[in-house]
Structure formats: C-alpha cells, structure tokens
Structure 1
Amino acid sequence: MKIIFLILLFIGNIFSLVAQEKVISLTKDEKWFGGVVNEAHLMPFKEGYDFDLYGNTGTNQAVSLLVSTKGRFIWSEEPFRFTVRNNQLIVSNRGEAVVIDSSGKNLREAYLNASKRFFPSKGKLPDTLLFTSPQYNTWIELIYNQKQKDIITYAKAIIANGFPPGVIMIDDNWADYYGRFDFRADRFNDAAGMIDTLHQMGFKVMLWISPFISPDTEVFRELQSKKYLLYDGVDKKTWSEAEKIAIINWWNGYSAVMDFTNPEAEKWFHDRLEYMVKTYHLDGFKLDAGDADFYPKDAISFKPATPNEHSRLWGEFGKYYALNEYRAMWKMGGEPLVQRLRDKKHSWEDLQKLIPHITVAGLLGYQFTCPDMIGGGEYGSFIGRDNLDENLVVRSAACSALMPMMQFSVAPWRILSEANLASVKKMVAVREKYVPYIMELAKSSAVSGEPIVRTMEYEFPNQGMAEIQDQFMLGKRYMMAPVVTKDHKRKIQFPKGVWRSDEGKIIKGPKIIEENVQLDRLPVFELVR
C-alpha cells in the first residue's frame, strides 16, 4: 500500500507541475488591471477576456501581476494564463506558486503591497536627461539609412528650430550586420568624431542594439563555436549534445539569438557594449527586441529557462548603463530601467491608447516609462503628406508633454505648418515649466515605487473613475485632460476637491464639465485643496 501511495503521490506532483487553476470570485464593483501593458486599453478586464503570459509579453512590458480596485493582487514569479468568466477571475499556470493577497483596500494599496513584497524599488534613477529634455530618435527621419552626415544634420535641425538638445538615439542599421559591434565604414567615416560633435552640441547619445546575431557571419561562427547561442530544441537533446542553432524570425528576417543563461555569453556581450562605449564615446543603449515571443518555447539553453526568463535576462544589461531604453520587458519592476510604449500607428485610435498603456505600466512597476514617438512610430505614415494629420501630431505632443518623458522621431519642422509647429514647441515649453515637479516625482518613485503618472482610480478610489482612459494624474497634484480625438470638445470628470485650471478657473468637484480645447492647449488642473 505504501508503494502504491508513493506512486500516486508522485503522479499527483507531476500533474501539479503541469497545470494548476485558481478561481477568484469577483466582489461587487471590483475591477482588475495588469499583466500586459499593450492590452491596457481593454482594462479594467471585461467578461470573456483571456491572456496567456507564457512566451508572450504582448510586444511591450509584462509581468504576472494583477491588481484590483478592492485592494487585492495576484502575483507569480512565473507566467500564468488568466481569464474573466462568470464573475470570476481564473488563473491557470504550470504548477508555480501563485500568491493572492487581500490585505489592501483599494488599487493604490494593492499595487504598493505587491511592489514592496516582490519588486521593491532600488532607489536608483536612470539618466535624468531623459526626464528633463525631450528625446530624439533618428528612426522616422532616416529609417534604415542611418548615416553620419544625416545624423548630424538632424541634430543641427533640432537646435535650429528652437528645440532643446537632449538624448539622441541612433537607430537600426549602423553596423554591417547584427552581432558586429563597429560602425559600418561606408556610412560612418568617423563615428567617434560624430558622437563628440553631438556631445559638443549638448546631446547625449544612445545606440540601438538587439540580442540577435546574423547567421553565416564571422561573429556567428565564433559564437557557435563557444556555444553562446540558443539551440533548436526539436531533437530534445541536452545542451552539451545540442548542435543545431535556433534561427528565429523577427521583423528584420532570420537570426540566431544570444543565450544569456550562459554567464560567459553574457560577459561576451557586455564586453562588446563596453568596447562600443570606450571606442566611440557612447553614453548608453536603446536595447530593442528581447520580446519573450521571439524565444522558441522548446529552445535549449545553457540553463533551462522559459521564453519569459530569456526576455528578463535581456533586461539585465540596462542596469549597466544609466542611459537605457527598452520596448519589451518581463518582470523587471522597480529597476532603474527606462521603458517605452510600443510603436503606435499614426491614428486617433492609437493615440487614445497612450494614457491607459502608460498608467498600467506604472501599475506593473515600470514607473520610468516613455510614451511612443510623438505622432506615432510607423514611418510609412510620414512619407509624403497623403495620410498625415497635423492635428494628430500636435495632440500627440500635448498628450506626451507631462508624461515622465517625451520623445520625438519625425521632425515636426518637416511635416507641420508654421502654426502647428509653434503649437508643438509650446508643448515643450509647458513641459519645461513642470520639469522640477516631474523630477521630484521621479526621485520619490525611485524610493517608494509609486507610479509617476497614475490612473484616476489610483488617486481617487471609489469615486467611479476606474473606467476613465483619457485623463491621468501626474503625482497627487496635477490632473491632465488632453484631447485625444478629432473633436476639439471633451468632457472632463473632476473628483472631489477644489481644482484650479491652467486658465485660472476654479472648479469644485465632484463635477463633469465640457470644454472646447484649442489645438495649442493642454488642459492641466491643479488640486488646491
């Protein structure tokens, strides 16, 4: 009987590692957020919502954390699937521990309880220039034609058109191939001199990199011989036996991918970054890709790891450099890492996603988050003027102006009328006015973990604000109500308290008002008591 019992126990343990399911009954008016930043416009979650985090970070930031307006949170160190069905939240995983905590009373307490317990802030800030000045990315203007002459021309135009210098990001295709850590000679005759010139103009310089390695290259063969790349797991071999390199398909074709579970591979890659810093005088890196989606679920690595863990390990490199930026991330809340919302389309629909996406990023511990490039990150929209909506670009600048950071890529002076360019520059000036408060919040957030930008529900619980997606709080003091539709009119919902508008009006909440918002205005309301 004892042997039979042990066999049954063994089988039960195996089953528990395969799948577990927890069912959480939703309380009256309880609403849930979290999991995936790029799904935030669908939050709070509605009946029928379903998402599996395993091998899927939703093309942006993600973590196995859900938070509730009634103070509850759900956490796991490993990815889980969650479904809303029949007034229940159903969490399914592969046997890992799932924590359900009900000690809070509202959304803020749910988040802070989870943060302090599982991803406490490290007390460190990214480079403060990312907050104090706009950022400029060369992607839209140069696309894959990154050249020394054109980068300098772009930088000069920034200053000539009355924009302040800040961080400039040199985007993809600066090297001969992926894995080659040198500027290509046919486009950069003096890369170090170029970066020195940018420094003299007041810029700091970041360089785009990824964890991919182009096959059939000198670097690929070196890394293959050292076993620094992920292997194809189709043959189910061990790491020591594996021979076939995994070739993955990403937006630029087919590549091998680094295996950062191997400490020697991690050191090799870090050494290459340090070489770039010392040789070319770079200040930091834009660490792109690294999505869990790009790592094969059956890949063989030096140490066993989920696709999500491979993504997290890519995030570790940013901690070497105060000047960093990521577009995809897994379970790195509380770290001094800069996140950017994924590329948005040049459309009003995608502009409306900025506020829910960036506020949910804060609820997942990614407080140092930049909205997408102003006007959108899809370069095709800015070739010619047929599909260009100048009002959309101005409203996008206004929406970004008082978020933790703002980033330009398309040159506003190239695509906008004189009047609309003046409106965008006005948004930059508005930001400059609030930079001291933004920095105060950033420094506080680095210690407390509290989001810099917050949902209305976070600051004003139980006032019917959980569904608001076009307003947000900058700390406790300022409420933003940017226009994110073609219509210049918008409704603004005020919580309890006395508010002073940017135009000097006093509004006593709770109240809903309708305002006609001119194109060159960002409605800001200060909570005065």
Structure 2
Amino acid sequence: MKKILFFILILLSVNLKAQYTSNIEVLANEKWWGGATKWGSNMPYTISPVIDLRYDNFDNQTSPFLVSNKGRYIWSDSPFSYQFKDNNIYITSPEEQVKVNVAGSTLKEAYLAASKAFFPPSGELPPGIFFSKPQYNTWIELMYDQSQAGVLEYARNIIKNGLPPGVLMIDDNWQNYYGNFDFKKVTFPDPKNLIDELHTMGFKVMLWISPFVSPDSREFRSLKSKGYLIKRKGSDEPAMIQWWNGHSACYDLSNPKAYGYLLSTLKKLCEEYKVDGFKLDAGDAKMYREEEIDVYDGKSYGAYQSELWAKLGSEFPYNEYRACWKMGGQALVQRLHDKSYSWEDMQLLIPDMLAAGLLGHAYACPDMIGGGEYSSFLNIDSNSFDQQLIVRSCQIHAMMPMMQFSVAPWRILDKKHLDICVKFAKHHEMLGEYILSYAKKASETGEPIVRYMEYSFPDEGFEDCKDQFMLGDKYLVAPVLTSENSRSVKLPKGQWRDDEGKKYKGGKRYTFNNVPLERLPWFEKIK
C-alpha cells in the first residue's frame, strides 16, 4: 500500500506544473491597459476578476501584454493570469516569472518600446480597400441560408442604394459541411460566375471558414487516417469539440503536415474560384483545453492553437479574425466580437477598439453596423425599431480604420435614415487615403490608428477617457453615443476647430446639446 501511494505521489509531482507568481504594486496616479480587447470598457483597470489568458479570450483578441501611462509594461512569451485588486496586479504564470519593464514615462513610450521588442510591425498591411471602402457581410441577411441568388441580390442592392462597393464576405453555410471547401451546388449552382460577377461590380470576395470538420464525413475519415485531427485526451480517436454549431472534429494545426494540407486546400480553392481570401472564424482558446484533448506537438493548447489559426490566415492578404492570440503587428484584419443591437453595446465600440489597438492590432473593424447579433433584426416592427441607433453606429464606423455593414440598411431604414448612412459611408471613403496613410505608418512603427486620448496627450487628464478618440494625429472624434443626441467633449490644450468650422480653446470641456442626426462631431487642431 505504501509503495502504491509512493508511486502516486511521484506521478503527481511529475504532472504538477510550477506556478510563478508576481505581485506588482500600482504606482501613484498610474493607470493600466491591455490583456484582452473585450475588457476595453473596464480599462484602465482598477478592480478585475482573475483573467486567465491561456483559455479566456472572451470571444476576441488577447495578448500577454499590460501597459501603463507611467512608462511601464508587462510582457510574457506565454499566457498568464492576472488580477487587479487592492492597488496591485497579481500575476500567475505556469511557464515563467513575469516582470515589469520600464521604458520612458508615458503610455505611448511604453507601448512603442514593447511593440518594438516583442510584437514588431511586419512592414506589411492588408490591402488598401479594407481602409478606403466599406465591408459587407452576408450573415445577418442570409444567416445559414447562404445562396448564389441571395448574395447577388445583396450585392446589387448595395450598388442600387448608392453605397460604395468594397470587400464582400459570404458567411457560413456556403459549403457542403464543415471541413469541406466546395460550394453547395443546390444553392450555388455556378460559383465561378458568381465570383466573376461580384468582381465586375467592384467587390473583393471572401468566404467564411472554420478549423472544424463534420464528423463521419469523407474529409473526417481522410483526415483521421492521416492523423491531422486533434485527439481526445488519452485516445487515438479524434476529439469532438463543442462550439456554437454543435460538436465537431478539428484540425490540429500544431501538426506541420495538417497545417500544410489545410493551407494548400485553401489556396486551391482561391485558384479555382478566384476567391480573394477568407473570414477565419472560431479558433477561440477556450475550445482547446489540455485536460480534454491531445495535440500533435504536446504543447499547443488553448491560446497557442488560436495563434496557429491566426498564422494560417496571414498566408492570405484578404483575411479577417475575431479570436486571436498575440500576432500584434501582423497584417491581420481584426473585428470586434458581435455586439447586440442596443445603445449599451454600441457604447462599447470605442473602448474595445482602443483596447485592440494597444494589443498591436491597428487594422481593426468595430463589429457590424447596428450590431452583429442576427436575432435583433428578425421580424422587425418598423414602429418600434430604433433607426437612430443604426445611424449613430454607422457614424462611429465612418471614422474608424474600417467599417462593416451586415444588416441591409435599405431593409430596415426609411429614406431619411438610409441617406444619412450612405453619406457617412462616403465620408469614410473620402477619408480613405488618410486612413491608409496611417495604416502604412502602423506597418512601420506599430502605432495604433485609433488612439486613446491619453496616448496622444499625456498628462492632460485623459487617463480615464474612453468615449472619444484620435484617428491618427489629425482628428479628435467624439460621436454621439446616446439617444439624447448630446454629449460632452474635453479638448486638449491648444486651439481647435470642429466639423462645422467653429473654433474652441483647448484645455476645457464643452457640452453639445441637440446634435442633429446628420452630424458626427469631430475636431481638428489649429496649428
């Protein structure tokens, strides 16, 4: 009996991983940001729960990076958990001792130092059309009923209603099943002609894909025989991973042969149909738990598998991600997690976009205009539907690096509100060269395109400001965020001019009441 207990203790000691802990005191007047995009509305942090970056990606981008306005930052090459509590940051890592680095005395200086050292810009950026034209996603209009006829009708109505053509994403269920990358012939009888026609109309075309494989399909059997699928813990059988569409097998991208096989399959798809790229969905860290699965390299669990999924997308200039681990500074298009159709969720767009920028994701899009949750737009009652919310959401998008429509504005809006959305889509198009110039700078310097006020104007009292932002160096943007059509704006020191040509003395706060629905307040510093 004693020998059995002895061997059990030995086995436990082998399997138990060391835990490195760090307690970092927050300095006087110090504020901290980073870690997870979806925590943007809680930044700068004061109190937080324990946030485990290995498995908690909160449906969006995460990175092992925290940064302060006192020139300090925290970086680790591996996921750690952190908590803000009692004026301390409590950090636990299973792989290394996490320490504080000092670089200058401001948020900008600390960010740029960390970016240069740990997630340097690649020198590449996504194609210019992402920044200069709107994006369109067929999800809310077609949901799981994607079809050639439906996609063409959607695209034609974009042009018919005066919106500029841009990137068009055909969403889930264009394919026969998961893991299969052939168009469903019943609903897409002539996909080559579809793609050709969309290109002729001025669109670039992307397809929704995921790393999942439908069980007991032809592809499943082939991939299983090759050993290309994630396995169930302690078994040679493929794991059935739970996600929002049920349970599926999943590519094991830690296997170089599986990675190469999927990459070549997707490239063949692009060659055959002239598809421009992919919306790479899923890949969430929470789906790859070590206690449930085995992977080829024995270490790529949680966030690491998510990182591999992101690296796959970097092989295609036209890409889009919602879940991502690290990869800051790379030419990846990021989108915020689906927001609900509500004023409360619309108010999350600015803080979450700002948070994404501070994780190194300059090329980002604030979800879909009006929200990405399709149930909000089913069986719409025009008498109760808040068209004002759609317009204000569109205005936020118009002065972001990217803007994306999904719900068809011509279906849910009357002519007055539709015309305003078209106006701001064209406003974004007009800003295209300016935004693209900052995207190019981001590819060289790593700087965000959308910036915290504290980032651009340190020591001017903007530490807690997250409802206005700088678009590059020129534009201070202060969208209306409530149904009351009013807002308060704090201007940095100096002289400023607003979108109507009125001048203001900086270093003061101004309240704007009864802001017309046609107006998006922005300010430019007078040199």
TM-score by length of 1: 0.95
Q: How does 1:211-226 map to 2 (within 5 A)?
A: 211-226=211-226
The SS at the match of 1:440 is helix
Inter-partner Cα distance in structure 2 for 1:103 and 1:338: 28
Is 1:192 the equivalent of 2:169?
no
1:348 aligned residue (335, 343, 347): 343
What's the counterpart of residue 436 of structure 1?
A: 433
Match of 1:56, as an amino acid? D
Work out which of the residue numbers 349, 361, 365 in structure 1 matches 2:360. Answer: 365
SS in 2 for 1:320: coil
Give the whole-Å Cα distance in 2 for the aligned partners of 1:83 and 1:413. Answer: 45
Partner in structure 2 of residue 129 of structure 1: 129
CA distance in 2, matches of 1:64, 1:14: 26
- Quote the offset at 1:14 in angstroms: 7.6
**Is residue 2:497 matched to residue 1:504?**
no
Distance in 1 (CA, whole Å) between partners of 2:406 and 2:80 is: 36
> Do structure 1's residue 277 and structure 2's residue 270 form an aligned pair?
yes
Which range moved further: 113-122 or 425-434? 425-434
The alignment status of 1:467 with 2:503, answered yes or no, reads no
- Residue of structure 1 in register with 2:73 after alignment: 73
Aligned to 1:288: 281
Instruction: Give CA-to-partner distance per residue, 1:416-475, whole Å, 9 cap, x none.
Output: 011101111111122223222111101111100000000111101111112112100011
1:410 corresponds to 2:407: yes
In structure 2, C-alpha distance between the alignment counterparts of 1:270 and 1:362, rounded to whole Å: 28
* 1:206 matched residue in structure 2: 206
Provide closer, same or farther for how the CA distance between residues 202 and 48 of structure 1 changes in structure 2, counting only shifts above 3 A.
closer
Matches within 5 A, 1:22-101: 22-101=22-101
RMSD of aligned alpha carbons? 1.6
Amino acid at match of 1:250: W
What is aligned with 1:111? 111
Matched, 1:397 2:390: no
Give the conservation status (yes or no) of the 8 Å contact 1:358–1:371.
Answer: yes
How far did 1:48 drift?
Answer: 4.4
Task: Give, in whole Å, the separation in 1 of the partners of 2:15 and 2:69.
Answer: 34
**Alignment partner of 1:339 out of 328, 334, 346:** 334
| TM superposition shift of 1:206 | 0.2
- 2:459, 2:273 → 1: CA distance? 54
Q: Is the 8 A contact 2:401 2:449 kept in 1?
A: yes
Give the secondary-structure state (helix, strand or coil) at the position aligned to 2:261.
helix
8 A Cα contact 1:382 1:388, kept in partner: no
Query: Separation in 2 of the partners of 1:141 and 1:95?
Result: 45
CA contact (8 A) 1:381 1:388 kept: no
State the alpha-carbon separation in 2 of the partners of residues 232 and 328 from structure 1: 23
Q: Secondary structure at the match of 1:34?
A: strand
Q: 1:21 to 1:198 in 2, by over 3 A?
A: same
Residues 1:303 and 2:297 aligned together: yes
- The answer to whether the 8 Å contact 1:16/1:94 transfers is no
Residue identity in the other structure for 1:426: K
**Per-residue displacement from partner, 1:231-264 (whole Å, max 9, x unpaired)?**
111x3xxxxxx41211111011110111011111
Amino acid at match of 2:395: A
Specify which of 419, 423, 443 is matched with residue 420 of structure 2.
423
| Between 95-104 and 390-399, the greater mean CA deviation after superposition | 95-104
For residues 244-286 of structure 1, give each alpha carbon's deviation from its aligned partner in whole angstroms, at most 9, with x where no partner exists: 2111110111101110111110111011101210111100100
Deviation of the 1:174 alpha carbon: 0.7
Q: Which amino acid aligns with 1:301?
A: V
**Is this contact kept in 1: 2:22–2:97, CA < 8 A?**
no
Q: CA deviation at 1:384?
A: 2.1
Which letter maps to 1:521?
R
> Who is 2:248 aligned against?
255
2:5 match: none
Identical positions, percent: 48
Q: Distance in 2 between matches of 1:48 and 1:413?
A: 42
**Following the alignment from structure 1 to structure 2, what is the Cα–Cα distance between the partners of residues 15 and 365?**
35
Contact 1:480 1:524 (8 Å CA) reproduced: yes
2:488 aligned with 1:494, yes or no?
Answer: no
How far apart, CA to CA, are the structure 2 residues paired with 1:467 and 1:483? 18
- Corresponding residue for residue 3 of structure 1: none
Match of 1:7 in 2: none
Equivalent residues, number: 512
Distance 1:109 1:383 in 2: 47
Aligned: 1:446 with 2:448: no
Which one is further off, 71-80 or 427-436? 427-436
2:333, 2:77 → 1: CA distance? 21
Quote the residue 1:246 is aligned against.
239
Which consecutive unaligned segments of at least 5 residues does structure 2 have? 1-9
Q: Deviations over 1:162-204 (max 9, x none)?
A: 0011110000001111011100111011001100000011111
Runs (4 or more) in structure 1 with deviation over 3 Å come to 13-17
Partner SS, residue 136 of structure 1: strand
Superposed displacement of residue 49, structure 1: 3.8
Q: Secondary structure at the match of 2:262?
A: helix
Partner of 1:4: none
The equivalent residue for 1:528 is 526
Code of the residue aligned with 2:66 in structure 1: it is L
Query: What is residue 328 of structure 1 aligned with on the other side?
Result: 323
One-letter code of the match for 1:425?
Answer: V
Tell me, which stretches of 5 or more residues in structure 1 are unaligned? 1-9, 236-241
In structure 2, C-alpha distance between the alignment counterparts of 1:15 and 1:301, rounded to whole Å: 17
Are residues 1:227 and 2:220 paired? no
Contact 1:179 1:219 in 2 (8 A): yes
CA distance change for structure 1 residues 133 and 345 in 2, over 3 Å: closer, same or farther?
same
TM-score (norm 2): 0.95
> Could you say what secondary structure the match of 1:495 adopts?
coil
Q: What is the distance in 2 between the residues matched to 1:104 and 1:117?
A: 14
Is the contact between residue 72 and residue 100 of structure 1 (CA under 8 Å) also seen in structure 2? yes
Query: Is the 2:22–2:99 contact (alpha carbons within 8 Å) kept by the matching residues of 1?
Result: no
Residues in 2 aligned to 1:54 and 1:201: alpha-carbon distance in whole angstroms:
43
Mapped to 2, the partners of 1:110 and 1:15 lie a distance apart of: 37
